[in-house]
A and B are shown apart, each in its own frame.
Chain A
């Protein structure tokens, strides 16, 4: 019983594991993302510059991976913050998870739509 309660207060084992896996992906992904946008191409922020970068399949794949990973990581993180202060009932927790999944999936689809011209190639 006590471990159950403890586990709930931490948001669940699978969420914990996925939060760690996405964290590692984001560390590597953001290092590449920030260096390529802010160090290598500083002062060249424009549609053409981004379109040029996205002409490479590597950056498109990277962006799609980052989009999925960061959405999961951010929304699960937000969930952990919310659960620390509010929503103790099980039904409320489920409702929160469902709502956040809907937001995440919608944002992912919207992001794919925005990147579509480059995904299509």
Chain B
């Protein structure tokens, strides 16, 4: 196989199958979600100066509702997955573990699940204590 063919094979089918593909798709979806969240976040935090003390606290009251706490957990998952898979990508860019990228993927997922469990425990406790409305 010539170098050119090998390159084509890598760029095409190699990326579009198996675990690496799913890691890539989820990484990208999480990334796009986080871009939108970033601008929403800047908007919400700026309410402190834009509208002041009262405006910000009114917005925060909504975020205490159960639906938003659960959405927060989705966000935590997006950050954890994107961040940890990102560590895997940086390591592979440095030439570390390219041949073991699947094992590294599952290691990232394990760390993400353990971290997520802490946040989920904390969030579910909050919902239970608060017992607030859905929305």
| A47 surroundings in chain B (CB, below 8 A) | 48, 53, 56-57, 60
The answer to whether A81 and B86 touch (CB under 8 A), given A38-B119, A111-B42, is: no
* B87 and A74 within 8 A (CB): no
User: Which residues, 90 to 135 on B, are CB-close (under 8 Å) to A?
Assistant: 90, 93, 118-119, 122-123, 125-126, 129-130
* A38 and B122 within 8 A (CB): yes
* A34 and B79 within 8 A (CB): yes
Q: How many residues of chain B have a CB within 8 Å of chain A?
A: 35
| Residue A27, interface by CB 8 Å | yes
* B46 and A110 within 8 A (CB): yes
A23 CA to B94 CA, complexed, in Å:
14
Q: Chain B binding site: helix, strand, loop or mixed by DSSP?
A: helix
* A78 and B118 within 8 A (CB): no
A47 CA to B45 CA, complexed, in Å:
9
Give per-residue flags for A47-77: 1 if the beta carbon is below 8 A from chain B beta carbons, else 0.
1001100000000000000010011001101
| A78 surroundings in chain B (CB, below 8 A) | 32, 35
| B70 surroundings in chain A (CB, below 8 A) | none
A26 CA to B34 CA, complexed, in Å:
13
A39 CA to B50 CA, complexed, in Å:
27
CB distance from B17 to the nearest CB of A (A): 18
CB distance from A81 to the nearest CB of B (A): 7
* B38 and A50 within 8 A (CB): no
* A46 and B57 within 8 A (CB): yes
User: Which residues, 12 to 42 on A, are CB-close (under 8 Å) to B?
Assistant: 20, 23-24, 26-27, 30, 34, 38-39, 42
Residues of A whose CB lies within 8 Å of any CB of B are: 20, 23-24, 26-27, 30, 34, 38-39, 42-43, 45-47, 50-51, 67, 70-71, 74-75, 77-78, 81, 107, 110-111, 113-114, 116-117
Residues of B whose CB lies within 8 Å of any CB of A are: 28, 31-32, 34-35, 38-39, 42, 45-46, 48-50, 53, 56-57, 60, 63-64, 72, 76, 79, 83, 86-87, 90, 93, 118-119, 122-123, 125-126, 129-130
